Structure 1
Amino acid sequence: MNQQFEHDDDIEPASKSQLKRESEELQALGEKLIPLDRKQLESLNLPDKLFEALLEAKRLKAHGAIARHKQFIGKLMRQVDPAPIHALLDKLAGVSDTHNAWLHGLERQRDRLLNDPKALEALIGEHPDLDVQQLRQLIRNAQKEKASLGTPKPLPMKAYRELFKLLKQFNPEPPIPGVLRSDDDDFDADE
């Protein structure tokens, strides 16, 4: 019997202060979700009650009601895994390492296309459904735009950006664990 009590002593319950800090952190995280639009919230696959509470928070105007509602959101946040939420917020803020690495990879691929003709052939080999004529035209125009940067009247970088968008279509972003894939580009960071 003594051994049973020894094992119970090994587990230290969290202090009230620690529980309160964790609760406040979850409430603050929930408050960061309020400004997100409906599609972004849907991508998190939140429980229905929390999803509706976040939508309701956008409608409230009275200071007291908003404060009470934020506490309610904080209470509901205790039932949710915060990791996917942090990942999405990091992506939206532009601090996600995975998202940044993906964007940098696309930029390197675009630069290779502009500087190395073999890169174009490799891309066509990987994606035979590409519109080769359109791609070659974008590359030529982007090269002209890039060359005009040092001149008094540089060309707008339209083809340069269009080439990037085309590469995004053929190289989708790696998914964030716990966040549903969205076909909408509303919250994609574009260089």
Structure 2
Amino acid sequence: IFAWHWLIRGLNLNKNNTEKDTMKKTRIKEYDEDGCVIRINKEEEKRKRDTIKAFVRDELLSLTNDKYSGLPIDEALIKALIEGKRLTGNAYQRHLSFLVRLVHEQNFTDIKAAFDRVHHPYRNDPSKVRDIEHYRDRLIAGDKLVINELLEKFADVDIQYLRQLARNANKEQQTERKKRLALAEKTGQPFVEPSKPTKSAKLLYQYLFKLELS
């Protein structure tokens, strides 16, 4: 009786292990709401999908239909994009997921690069980047003349917003500098000036960049 009991128990354990292995194998290949396979690094995959979704929603669907021929996409994707413009509500959300999958399959990197070359030419222009960084640094340093220069160059400048960002960036830089000075004194290591832009400095750069694109 005992031998039979242990035999049955062993068979049940093997069955349970087999079922668990099957479940694990089944879970390896999962699909998200956009129809893309979720692989081992789910967080990274989700970030990529969110990036594609934002690009499709904010950039591709805002283009006029005649602009799609200049992108490395096929006729099916062009038709799907045109179709997406007339949809709303849940139908739009489902179609957006479908568009994300198509863009992913047709090489998002190539599509994005082609889009930027035409619609955001300054993004990879070193001279424009230097100009924006120069304006940003002068604003943070408290240069009063730069405000007048920006007003002459751009029509829609939110001066109050610019000044607030510049003040915040200056405070953040001073705080970071004090931390580094204290650390240098404590450890005896040489003081190194902060090289990375602070949060407000990044926001200031982004705002100036948008002004260049407008």
| Category of TM-score, reference length = shorter chain | 0.3 to 0.5
Higher-RCO chain (CA-CA 8 Å, sequence separation at least 6):
1
Question: Which structure has the larger Rg over C-alpha atoms?
Answer: 2
Structure whose residues are more often helix by fraction: 2
TM-score by length of 2: 0.36
TM-score by length of 1: 0.40
